[in-house]
Amino acid sequence: MSSFDVRLFADDASIVAIGQGLLAATLPRDAWTHEAHLAACSWLLRDRPDIDIERELPAIISAYNLASGGVNDDRQGYHETITQVYIAAVKAHFAEVGSRLPLYHSVNSLLSSARGRRDYPLRFYSKELLFSAEARRTFVAPDLGSLDGM
């Protein structure tokens, strides 16, 4: 597994800007990092109860990808299984840390944890399954371990 420096957030405003930029499809492409994905998901879960995240985030990310010049196909762009795994991971993290902390503290602690790692889904999925076209298009059950109790 590769190791990456984790980019932490200095304040809630930077996370809100990412979330709003994602919803408006105006976030600069180079700002749509792994950390931004988890920050936006965290903000949506905590501050946007009007959005059914499991159901609506796929279309939100797909629309953003297209608006920022990307594509959504069998090899790149939106990935359903990875998205759903990280939504579950963010929910599990919030269940542990609560929602009363400043958002950036919660997001930074998530990013510094096992659940926030870029390779976290590979605890549950083989590379072959996770990076398959099927897993990109639809949620597939893990082949290496249960997602229960993330």
Q: Is residue 143 included in any domain, yes or no?
A: no
Q: What percent of the chain has pLDDT over 70?
A: 97
Domain containing 107 equals 12-137
Q: What is residue 98's predicted lDDT score, i.e. its pLDDT?
A: 84
Number of C-beta neighbours around residue 11 at 10 A: 11
Q: Is residue 150 included in any domain, yes or no?
A: no
> Is it the case that residue 2 has pLDDT exceeding 50?
no
- Mean pLDDT of all residues belonging to the chain: 95
Q: Any idea what DSSP says for residue 143?
A: S
Q: Is residue 4 included in any domain, yes or no?
A: no
Number of C-beta neighbours around residue 93 at 10 A: 21
Long-range CB contact pairs, 25-33, < 8 A, 24+: 25/63, 25/64, 25/67, 25/68, 26/67, 27/64, 27/68, 28/68, 29/68, 29/69, 29/70, 32/64, 32/68, 33/7
Q: What percent of the chain has pLDDT over 90?
A: 93
Number of independent structural domains in the chain: 1
Q: Is residue 149 included in any domain, yes or no?
A: no
Q: How far is CA 87 from CA 38, 46, 67, in A?
A: 8, 12, 22
131 vs 80: CA distance, rounded Å: 11
12 vs 45: CA distance, rounded Å: 14
Q: Is residue 145 included in any domain, yes or no?
A: no
Q: What is residue 99's predicted lDDT score, i.e. its pLDDT?
A: 75
Q: How far is CA 14 from CA 5, 17, 47, 59, 79, in A?
A: 18, 5, 14, 23, 24
Q: Is residue 142 included in any domain, yes or no?
A: no
Q: Is residue 60 included in any domain, yes or no?
A: yes
Q: Is residue 112 included in any domain, yes or no?
A: yes
Q: What is the pLDDT of residues 20-50, one digit of tens each?
A: 999 999 999 999 999 999 999 999 999 999 9
> Is it the case that residue 1 has pLDDT exceeding 60?
no
Q: What is residue 70's predicted lDDT score, i.e. its pLDDT?
A: 95
- Cβ 90 vs Cβ 41: under 8 Å: yes
pTM: 0.95
